[in-house]
Each structure stands twice: as structure tokens, then as C-alpha cells.
């Protein structure tokens, strides 16, 4: 019975193939197209599903489709557990192994209670080649299948959801970069700084305030669009050297997953190059200008311009020397930097933080650091007791010790930077004895206290000696005023002789 059934099935298939071959060869193309069109319409009445095809390349393989890339990232994260056959590869600039569906594999997905299916496909076609071996062209694609009654939901919300999630997954998995400028171009290396807010030596309340502000900024795209502002925010970090300004920037980048652009103003020729560098930056990035008061001569630039021009008119040689100096130095002006921070071009890319650091905030032009340009001013102070406890936890793995009270009192009297405190707590051997390093810190604080006392005594003595000198001068001047100046008495008789 089974043998007879297979024999009949083979005969039916052979008959169908014969009829199809005759149909293809002898029937006109227009008739065949009409029959296919009406057959598809007839099939659609009984087959209620729709399909959307997403090709890997667009424009005759000149460019990889962004939609295909985002769908690939989405499927690799959300549906790779369902697929029985996967492809694995280490993608460039990625931190981990990337998994994706193998060719001709199908997985299911669900969105708001609606079930749909994704399938990966590949078309292979032979191409003409001058070489002996034939060349094949592979065209990959994804096909989305869903019921036609959910057409509006899939074409609207679902596809937007897939693209948005794919972008987010790509940003999460990518290896972030640290850029620096060489003239008007950026060069980059991998950004691997380990700093986090958990290890940052800072008062916990102040730290939480900064974290909340950064997280709120990263989620405020719609808010910035509604109020008509570019999606960017300025941070001014100021304080003595060694208080952790650069570490704070690295922690900000690690918290938000942003790239870092370290802008060296002295390497920028003029305002035009500065604008070009800004255009080349991408979204989700932090643009940093460290020690901005030392980068170029921006301090009180407007106030000193007229004075320089007057001096040049009086001294032509000074004007010539200035022209020679300007040809070698950066010609970035304060106006150009202000336009860089919040001008029309500053909205390019979106989702950017602009961070300035300085050791002398009083030297900066008020127009540069006003609210709207530098929205949040963060003072990086000397090491407090709360910051010390973070460092002790980082370096010595302790949260309390009987020496903490003494260190607390010394830190209230002595100004010591977190960098100096960390150096005294840094383990110098494999076996860490916490008390040894705490005593080392106490000794360093004691030496700093004695040095401050000696300096204060020397200043007091110098002031006292200056005061005595001034008193003696006042006494001499008062004596001169009382006695007056007398001329030598001349003998008139002697003169007559």
C-alpha cells in the first residue's frame, strides 16, 4: 500500500512539472502575469498573513541598510535563545561575542499580545568574472510575517520599537572611544578608564545630586525638544589640582556610556577648525576642555583688546612681534568658543555634555561660565572625611577603624587633596596592613600641619618686620617735619673779604 501511494504521488508531481513547463514555454508572458496576479489575489483571500522584506544592502550594494543592522541587533538580543542555529562573530569595536540567527532560520516574537515571525534568508546568484573560478553574490535579508489585521500596529509602533531597541543594544555593546584632536581631525583610542561614581572620593549627597542630574539629562530628549533647546548640558568642574576633576569626567562617561572627546584648544588653528571639530562629534558624547584657563588666552580677552591695539600703534616693532607670535599660536577667540558651546552649531548630533575644568575659576570670563553655557558648577574640594572613607574602602577594604576619629579631626584642620590621601593609602606590598597605612596618613597630615604652622609664623614675622620698618620710616618723617631743613650759615663779612 505504501509503495503504491508513493508511486501515485510521484506520477502526480511529474505531471504537474510537465504542465508547468509547457505553460512557461508556450503561454505568452502577459497571460502568465495575469494568471499569477489573480492567483495571488485568490490566495490572499484564504491566506491572511503579510510579509515585509528588509534587504541587507540598498542602492546596488553601495551601502548597508541601517534598518537591517538595527533589526540584526534586536534579534540577536531578543530572539537568539529561540533559534536552533546561530552565527557567532566578534564585531569590530564590540566588547563581547555577537550572536545572530543563521541563514534560513525562523524565530517568533510578541508585541502587545500580537505574535509575529522573523526569518533570515539568503539569495545566491552567480556573477560573470574574468577569473577561472565562478564568483557568487550573496544577498541576505530578513522577512517579517504577521496577520494582516495587525497591519497598523506592526507598521507603526512595532517597527519603531525594533529600531529603537536595536540602536540601544548597539550602543550598549559597542566599545567606547577616547578622541583627541590633531589639527581639525579627531584621532581615537579605546576608552578603558575604570573610574565610577562608586569609587569616586566625594561627599555621598553631592555625588547623588550629580548622578541624578546626569541620568535626568540622558532621558530628557522629549523635554528639550518641547522647550526648544539643544539637547546638551554644560558642566564646570573647578578646584585645586588633585581633587579628582579628570576622574569625575571618566566616571560620568562610564555612568552614561558616552564617548569622550578631549579637545586641545592649542592645537586648533582658528574658529573655523573649532567648528569643524564640533560637527564631527557624535551624539552620546562628552566634549572636554581641561584647564581652560591655561589653554588659550581667553581671560579678559575683550577688555585687553583695545589696550593692545594702542600699544601696537605706539611701537611698530611690538606689532611685528605680535604678528609673528600669532602665526604660530592658536587664533581661537572667546567669541568662537562661546559659539562652540551654545551657538547654532552646538545642536549638531544631540545628547552631548560639554565639560570645562579649571584650577582658577576666578580667571575665567563671566560670559563663558554663565548659566545656559555651563549649566552646573561643581566644586571639587579638598578631601573631606566622607571622601576619605570612600578611599579607605577602595584601597584598604575597610569601613571603620579606631584611627578614623583622629583622621577626622586632622582633615578638618588640614587641606589635603584626595590624590595625596590616596597616595598614603596606596598598598606598597601584597599583604595589606590597614593600620600601617592609616598611621602613614596621620603622619603626613601632621607634617602638613607643622608646615602650615611654620609658614604662618614666618608670614607673621615678615609682617611684623615690615610693620616695624614702616614705623621707623614714619618716625623719621615726623622728626624731619618737626626740625625742618636748615641751610648752613654763611659769614657775610668773610664773603666781602
Place of cell 505504501: 2
Cβ atoms of 105 and 76 within 8 Å: the answer is: no
Count Cβ atoms within 10 A of the Cβ of residue 46 and give its class: 0-12 exposed, 13-18 middle, 19 or more buried.
exposed
Cβ atoms of 72 and 173 within 8 Å: the answer is: no
The answer for 284, left when phi > 0, alpha when psi is -120 to 50, beta otherwise, is: left
Give the pLDDT of residue 478: 65
Give the pLDDT of residue 19: 76
Domain extent listing, the chain? 21-173, 177-299+314-379, 386-450
Q: Which three cell numbers stand for residue 250?
A: 571618566
Count Cβ atoms within 10 A of the Cβ of residue 65 and give its class: 0-12 exposed, 13-18 middle, 19 or more buried.
middle
Query: Looking at the domain that runs over 177-299+314-379, which CATH code has it been given?
Result: 3.40.50.300
Among 94-108, 276-290, 443-457, name the one with the lowest average pLDDT: 94-108
Distance, CA of 175 to CA of 349 (rounded, Å): 19
Cβ atoms of 177 and 259 within 8 Å: the answer is: yes
Query: Is a pLDDT exceeding 90 seen at residue 377?
Result: yes
Query: Residues, the chain, total?
Result: 497
Query: Is a pLDDT exceeding 80 seen at residue 70?
Result: yes
Confidence of residue 60 (pLDDT cuts 50, 70, 90): low
Q: What is each CA distance from 410 to 61, 129, 346, 388, 397, in whole angstroms? A: 69, 81, 46, 12, 21
Confidence of residue 486 (pLDDT cuts 50, 70, 90): very low
Pairing of strands 185-190, 177-182: antiparallel
Query: Is a pLDDT exceeding 90 seen at residue 214?
Result: yes
Model's pTM, two decimal places?
0.68
Confidence of residue 480 (pLDDT cuts 50, 70, 90): low
Query: Is a pLDDT exceeding 80 seen at residue 472?
Result: no
Amino acid at each position: 500500500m505504501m509503495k503504491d501511494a508513493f508511486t501515485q504521488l510521484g506520477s502526480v508531481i511529474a505531471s504537474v512539472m510537465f504542465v508547468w513547463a509547457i505553460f512557461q514555454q508556450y503561454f505568452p508572458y502577459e497571460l502568465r502575469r495575469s494568471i499569477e496576479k489573480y492567483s495571488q489575489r485568490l490566495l490572499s483571500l484564504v491566506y491572511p498573513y503579510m510579509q515585509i522584506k528588509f534587504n541587507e544592502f540598498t542602492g546596488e550594494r553601495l551601502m548597508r541598510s541601517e534598518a537591517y543592522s538595527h533589526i540584526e541587533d534586536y534579534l540577536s538580543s531578543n530572539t537568539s535563545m529561540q533559534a536552533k542555529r546561530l552565527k557567532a562573530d566578534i564585531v569590530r569595536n564590540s566588547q563581547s561575542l555577537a550572536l545572530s540567527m543563521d541563514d534560513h532560520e525562523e524565530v517568533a516574537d510578541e508585541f502587545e499580545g500580537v505574535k509575529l515571525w522573523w526569518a533570515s534568508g539568503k539569495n545566491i546568484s552567480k556573477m560573470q568574472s574574468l577569473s577561472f573560478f565562478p564568483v557568487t553574490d550573496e544577498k541576505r535579508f530578513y522577512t517579517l510575517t504577521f496577520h494582516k489585521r495587525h497591519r497598523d500596529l506592526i507598521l507603526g509602533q512595532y517597527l519603531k520599537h525594533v529600531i529603537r531597541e536595536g540602536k540601544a543594544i548597539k550602543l550598549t555593546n559597542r566599545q567606547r572611544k577616547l578622541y583627541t584632536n590633531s589639527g581639525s581631525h579627531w584621532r581615537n583610542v579605546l576608552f578603558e578608564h575604570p573610574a565610577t561614581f562608586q569609587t569616586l572620593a566625594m561627599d555621598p549627597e553631592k555625588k547623588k545630586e550629580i548622578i541624578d542630574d546626569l541620568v535626568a539629562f540622558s532621558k530628557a530628549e522629549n523635554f528639550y525638544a518641547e522647550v526648544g533647546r539643544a539637547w546638551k548640558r554644560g558642566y564646570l568642574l573647578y578646584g585645586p589640582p588633585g581633587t579628582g576633576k579628570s576622574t569625575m569626567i571618566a566616571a560620568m562617561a562610564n555612568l552614561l556610556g558616552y564617548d569622550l572627546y578631549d579637545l586641545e584648544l592649542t592645537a586648533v588653528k582658528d574658529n573655523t577648525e573649532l567648528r569643524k571639530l564640533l560637527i564631527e562629534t557624535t551624539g552620546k558624547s562628552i566634549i572636554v576642555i581641561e584647564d581652560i584657563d591655561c589653554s588659550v588666552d581667553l581671560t579678559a580677552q575683550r577688555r585687553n583688546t583695545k589696550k593692545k591695539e594702542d600699544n601696537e600703534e605706539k611701537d611698530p616693532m611690538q606689532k611685528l612681534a605680535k604678528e609673528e607670535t600669532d602665526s604660530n599660536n592658536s587664533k581661537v577667540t572667546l567669541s568662537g568658543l562661546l559659539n562652540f558651546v551654545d551657538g547654532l552649531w552646538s545642536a549638531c548630533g544631540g545628547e552631548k555634555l560639554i565639560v570645562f575644568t579649571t584650577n582658577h575659576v576666578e580667571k575665567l570670563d563671566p560670559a563663558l561660565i554663565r548659566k545656559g553655557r555651563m549649566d552646573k558648577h561643581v566644586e571639587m574640594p579638598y578631601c573631606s572625611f566622607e571622601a576619605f572613607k570612600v578611599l579607605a574602602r577602595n584601597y584598604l577594604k575597610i569601613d571603620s577603624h579606631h584611627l578614623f576619629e583622629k583622621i577626622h579631626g586632622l582633615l578638618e584642620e588640614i587641606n589635603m587633596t584626595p590624590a595625596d590621601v590616596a597616595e598614603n593609602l596606596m598598598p606598597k606590598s601584597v599583604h595589606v596592613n590597614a593600620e600601617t597605612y592609616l598611621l602613614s596618613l596621620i603622619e603626613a597630615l601632621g607634617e602638613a600641619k607643622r608646615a602650615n604652622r611654620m609658614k604662618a609664623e614666618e608670614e607673621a614675622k615678615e609682617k611684623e618686620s615690615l610693620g616695624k620698618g614702616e614705623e621707623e620710616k614714619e618716625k623719621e618723617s615726623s622728626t624731619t617735619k618737626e626740625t625742618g631743613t636748615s641751610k648752613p650759615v654763611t659769614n657775610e663779612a668773610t664773603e666781602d673779604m
